[in-house]
Structure 1
Amino acid sequence: MVTLDIGTARMVLAAQPFSVLLGARLEVFEKGRAILAVPMRENLKQQNGFLHGGVLAYAADNAITFAAGSTLGPEVLTSGVTISYVRPASGVTLRAEAEVTYTGRRQAVCRCDLYAVAEDGARVLSAVAQGSVLCVS
């Protein structure tokens, strides 16, 4: 199995045009765990001023895939994600905190908690997701 470091993982993220468009950054990348952060810019919000649900779904998907890739290796793709929105997201940063709950030879299952972080650092759980990731190599 190939082991990735955070520098290499950040290069992978930087090679994703959509992630660059959103301003996503990989804050943590370690075995079985990844944290992705997205700034809550005005142009990412919906009509009521909350972060758009599609941004939360993106963050969950990518954080889950990075967490799984830390145990399966770099050649992975998401095979499914479910997300439950529990509170509207508002603040300055979205943090998607993913953790591997199961890893097999070719598949991993992960959980991801998504927090809206205020300027003062207060965190509010906004969504919970689960996903499965498969090796493609």
Structure 2
Amino acid sequence: MGGMELTLELAEKVLASQPFSVLLGTRLTAFGAEGATLELDIREDLRQQNGYLHGGVLSYAADNAITFAGGTALGPAVLTGGFTITYLRPAAGAVLRAVARVAHASKRQATCTCELAVLDEDGVATLCAIAQGTVIAVRA
């Protein structure tokens, strides 16, 4: 890690280096001291049998947004230590937005929260899940 700061440019490169994120078409739409926001378009092939966005996609978005938020406090060499997610309502809309923030950080670990919302065609957000997780600094 060597004290390297995780900038928006570096964070975008990290996201682009994740094949699964590329497959889903994930975008980093905000990154900085306030945390990180990821968005992805809700496509037919990401839905479950009832037409809602699959819970695994919500979990992925929470996991990744939490880890990027943790990186704002700990630097780029981080991994998810674990997270929990609570689904509040079915995710139906055009875009999934995951907004993660650092609640507390030490030198080795950050605890983060994440709100997941779906945006309709007019950009109106509906909260559909909340997650909380721990991000761990990885030392060489």
* TM-score category of the 2 structures, normalised to the smaller one: over 0.9
**2:21 corresponds to:** 19
TM-score using structure 1 length: 0.98
How many residues get paired?
A: 137
TM-score using structure 2 length: 0.96
1:21-75 CA-to-partner distances (Å, cap 9, x unmatched) read 0000100010240000011000000000000000000000000000000110000
Distance 2:102 2:9 in 1: 20
**1:56 corresponds to:** 58
Distance 2:107 2:13 in 1: 25
Supply the AA of the counterpart residue of 1:122.
V
**2:81 corresponds to:** 79
Task: Could you tell me which runs of 5 or more consecutive residues in structure 1 were left unpaired when the two chains were aligned.
Answer: none
Task: Could you tell me which runs of 5 or more consecutive residues in structure 2 were left unpaired when the two chains were aligned.
Answer: none
- Percent identity over the alignment is 56
**2:43 corresponds to:** 41
**Do the aligned partners of 1:32 and 1:71 also contact (CA within 8 Å) in 2?**
no
Distance 1:82 1:107 in 2: 16
Distance 1:69 1:32 in 2: 11
| 1:104–1:32 distance in 2 versus 1, CA, 3 Å | farther
Distance 2:110 2:12 in 1: 21
Q: What is the root-mean-square deviation in Å for CA atoms of aligned residues?
A: 0.7
